[in-house]
Amino acid sequence: MNTVYLYALVGVGLFCLGLYALIVHAHLLRKILAINVMGSGIFLALVALANRTENLPPDPVPHAMVITGIVVAISATALSLTLMLKVAGETGRAELPDEGKE
Amino acid sequence: MGRHRWLLLPLFVALSVGLSYAVLSLPEHPESLQKMVVDKIEVSGVSNPVTAVLLNFRGYDTLLEMVVLLLALLGVWSLGSTAVRRETTPGPVLDTLARLLVPVLILVAAYLLWVGAHAPGGAFQAGSVLGATGVLLLLAGWRLRADLTTLPLRLVLVAGPGAFVAMAVATLLIQGQLLEYPPAQAGILILILETGATLSIGATLTVLFLGKRPQDKESE
């Protein structure tokens, strides 16, 4: 048990927190932020676990995945924010219609 | 939803415990690709293993990722102008800060691009710094000249994916394998690809921040 697993468990915690917020909140901006928190948790876990073998340099393959993942996450966030602005512009509120509430 | 929110609690406790168990039960000495990377680093043309994986061993991942960036940008453009953003005139502090920082940031991006061959750095880091530079410029009220927003901007946006596709075709025809560089020239080929990718990533992130096509008029 070393710090690597501490970081990985913090990543797991971030993922679960983000998933909870994604389900609970209706506002689209909160949902987008929640997905980003989930992604950050996954990145943290991947980077930490790449270094779990002692006396060896970190495994570069997960690091490369995280680097590409960060840039993809940024562009996906930009696209979803634009979609959210579009929804807010059309309906006046940044939430998806809830069929059950009608 | 509100009344049943407590039902989520046991579900999330179970999920956290399950994921934590999965993380903790991973073998300490995994059969990873690490050994293969270390063995082949000599012929990759670079000495930084992360760059070797990104641009050489898994080059097609990076090729497709550049396409994902481009697709995100096309998605944003196809939504038309959603901007309800009010233009503000930047204060003297922001204006001066941008003037001081932009040359330094461009220099940092170039350094990161160059150093990526043998130390942490590379196209994505450099591209992100360039993107941040562009965002700072946009916040400071700078706009691209109108005649540059059509063809020249688009050429920069596709420089990265275009360089990758051209390289993929060339290596397929000459080497017989997709993105398999001859070891002697691998270093310079990777640097060319990374330069294109850096420019494209920086430009794409900047234009994504703008949230609309640069030539669109502000919607009132």
3 state DSSP class of B46: coil
pLDDT digits (tens, 9 = 90+) for A7-58: 999 999 999 999 999 999 989 999 999 999 999 999 999 999 888 877 778 8
Closest residue on chain A to B68 (Cα): A72
B82 band by pLDDT with thresholds 50, 70 and 90: low
- Nearest to residue B2, comparing CAs of A81, A94, A47, A101? A101
Contact by Cβ (8 Å): B52, B187: no
- Domains of chain A: residue spans and CATH: 3-93 (1.10.287.3510)
What are the residue boundaries of the structural domains of chain B, listed by start? 39-210
Q: What is the ipTM of this complex?
A: 0.85
pLDDT at residue A7, as a whole number = 93
Asked if the model's pLDDT at residue B210 lies above 90, the reply is no
Phi first, then psi, for residue B117 (nearest 5°) are: -70, -30
Q: Provide the shortest C-alpha distance from residue A25 to chain B (in Å).
A: 10
Q: Which of B54, B76, B201 sits opposite A79 (nearest CB)?
A: B76
- Nearest to residue A79, comparing CAs of B71, B65, B85? B71
pTM attached to this predicted model: 0.86
CB of B93 within 8 Å of any CB in chain A? no
CB of B130 within 8 Å of any CB in chain A? no
Higher pLDDT, A96 or B11: B11
Contact by Cβ (8 Å): A31, A25: yes
CB of A95 within 8 Å of any CB in chain B? no
The conformational region for residue A56 under phi > 0 = left, psi -120 to 50 = alpha, else beta, is beta
A102 band by pLDDT with thresholds 50, 70 and 90: very low
Residue A19 Cα distances to A33, A88, A98, B20, angstroms: 10, 23, 19, 15
Contact by Cβ (8 Å): A60, B49: yes
Q: Which residues contact B44 (CB under 8 A, 6 or more apart)?
A: B52, B56, B57, B183, B186
pLDDT digits (tens, 9 = 90+) for B83-131: 556 667 778 898 899 999 999 999 999 999 999 888 888 899 999 999 9
What span, in angstroms and rounded, lies between the C-alpha atoms of B64 and B114? 23
